[in-house]
Amino acid sequence: MSYDLAVWEGEQPADDAAAGEVYDRLYATYAEGEQLPPTPRIRAYVLALLERWVDLSSDDKDDASPWSAGPLMDEASGPFVYFTMRYSVCEEVSTEAARMAAAHGLVCYDPQWERVRPTAEERAEACR
């Protein structure tokens, strides 16, 4: 079982429903469509994730990678990246990945919760 996040370049959606509509459109275009090289901002975000957590690879003997698919950069296409993580680490990893997306000026959407992240609660927790 895995947990998914989508991150993209663009204006912050007005609400979770609007974000869901943007997500649906971007997923159909970039995750299910033709694979494009990631934009510089998406590439920088993925590289930041890989500085924080090891990429999934066949030589991950310690099973240290949180990702369910890899290499992670292959999950990026144009202004969009859709990535999966192991469910056993999803709370910690998804929270930090959402914060990192915000720090990069990107939108993070959680399709399981059907909401934009980081949530107000997650932002408040980061300030403590």
pTM of the model: 0.92
User: Do 83 and 4 meet the contact criterion of CB atoms below 8 Å apart?
Assistant: yes
Average pLDDT, the chain: 92
**Which residue, among 28, 26, 20, has the nearest Cα to 8 in the 3D structure?**
26
Query: Is the pLDDT assigned to residue 1 strictly greater than 70?
Result: yes
Residue-level pLDDT at 128: 60
Beta bridge partners of 59: none
